[in-house]
Amino acid sequence: MVCISRFLPVKGVQNINGKELKSIVGKKGKYFIDVRTVGEYRGNHMKGFQNIPLNDLASKANQLDKNKEVIVICQSGMRSKQAAKVLKKLGFQQVINVSGGMNSL
């Protein structure tokens, strides 16, 4: 039963697909965060995204404005879903997860 929670939607987090992401990427007033490792990010990333690895997100989140919309992405959507959960717990109001991650682009 514990494993199933990894696949359930995170309350208060919107999920979008790669096509929807392409229509909003680069818009002002939003944070675009890639939560993959530094190596993964260097290997391939989407323009407009900043790299904050999942393991560093909680400690670096205080540098972000909690009132701005945050879009998170990873390789497959699992780590970004975890990141979205972390951000919601830290008080971020508008969090969007890219379902399928980089694989969906």
Contact 52, 74 (CB under 8 A): no
CA distances from 53 to 60, 61, 72, 80 (A): 10, 11, 11, 10
CA 35 to chain centre: 6
Could you give the residue numbers annotated as active site?
Answer: 74
